[in-house]
Amino acid sequence: MTKRSFAVDRLPGFTATAIGVFLALYLPLIVLVIYSFNKGASVAVWQGFSLDWYAKAWANEAVKEATFRSLVIATSAALIATVAATAAALGTTRRKAFKGQTFIYVMINQPLMVPEIVTAVALLIFFAWIKVTTGIQGLGYLIIAHSAFCIPFAYLPIRARLEGMDLTLETAAADLYATPWRTFRRVTLPLMAPGIVAGAMLAFVISLDDVVITEFVKSGGQDTLPTYMLGQLRRQLTPEINAISSGLLLLTVLLLTAFFLLTRKKDQ
């Protein structure tokens, strides 16, 4: 008698459960996109197809300003976080195991383990103290806060890329009398580039979508696109918010698709 191996897809109700999970995850998004084309002002009653709400969102100066600010913050935070994460990944993988390595790994990934609201309150108090002490204001506080929060998201794919790399080429470069910097620039960096780009894109998406930390750290007139949408939801819910959300969803899906393709290429 042939013994059959265990397979989760053979469990009773697996298919129904999987379908239910996918519906719960994606059906609200599908409804959101559909109602972004609603002709009327209701978000629950279909009144015909129209692109008017996309045109209104495109012409809304507040939306443009918030979108531009979000892109500036997300781009800056992604660059800073990726540089820091690359250095941290090199420092924790391209050397022999050392005492305290696990502690450093935990500290780098601390934003993933601590509730975001706790990080937001801590940053609020810390930056308030700096503002009172120095009198310095500006968008830099949001960029620093987003950068710190995004470091572990950039660190994980970069570290995974480094751990999956073969050391043969680096060893060969050293045998051919290449300096450590030349080996890094000509061999290590090109090989780890997909991980760096993937980490940067993931950090960009995380920063672009953030609400909690932004809501706590931002000053007056520093709304990002997510916090602007949150403010509009508190006032009046219209399909314009659906249109903005659909645009943000499309951008996020494109970036995550690119992230998937880059990380998939690593395994081929």
- Dihedral sign for Cα 25, 151, 99, 161, please: positive
Supply 79's token pair: 């660059």
- Segment 126-152 shows an average pLDDT of 90
User: Mean pLDDT for the chain?
Assistant: 84
Instruction: State yes or no: pLDDT of 260 exceeds 80.
Output: no
Tell me which H or E stretch contains 36. none
- Please determine, for residue 237, whether its predicted confidence score (pLDDT) is greater than 80: no
Return the beta strands (E) in 6-96 as ranges.
none
* pLDDT tens figures, 76-117: 999 999 999 999 888 888 777 777 777 888 888 888 888 889
- Burial of 97 per CB tally in 10 Å (0-12, 13-18, 19+): exposed
Question: How far is it, in rounded angstroms, from Cα 179 to Cα 188?
Answer: 12
pLDDT cut 90: percent of the chain above it: 20
Residue-level pLDDT at 4? 65
Residue range 17-32: mean pLDDT, rounded: 88
CA distance 73 to 154: 16
* Residue found by looking up tokens 């980490």 in the block: 199
CATH number of the domain at 60-266, out of 1.10.3720.10, 3.40.50.300, 3.40.50.720, 2.30.30.100?
1.10.3720.10
* pTM of the model as a whole: 0.82
38 strand-pairing partners: 49
pLDDT of 234 > 90? The answer is: no
The predicted structure's pLDDT at residue 187: 81
pLDDT (0 to 100) of residue 167: 74
Please, which residues bridge with residue 49 across strands? 38
Is residue 35 within 8 A of residue 239, CB to CB? The reply is yes
Q: Is the pLDDT of residue 23 over 70?
A: yes
The pLDDT assigned to 265 comes to 52
- Confidence at residue 263, expressed as pLDDT on a 0 to 100 scale: 64
147-173 pLDDT, tens digit per residue, is: 999 999 999 989 888 888 777 777 787
Tens digit of pLDDT for each residue in 50-76?
A: 888 888 888 888 888 999 999 999 999
Give 238's pLDDT tier (boundaries 50, 70, 90).
confident
Which tokens sit at 25? 């995850």
Helical pair 61-93 and 52-59, crossing angle rounded to 10 deg: 80
Output the pLDDT for position 72. Answer: 94
For the chain, the structural domain boundaries read: 60-266
The yes-or-no verdict on residue 178 having pLDDT over 80 is no
pLDDT score at 7: 72
Q: What is the pLDDT of residues 183-232, one digit of tens each?
A: 788 888 888 888 898 899 889 989 988 999 999 998 888 889 888 888 88
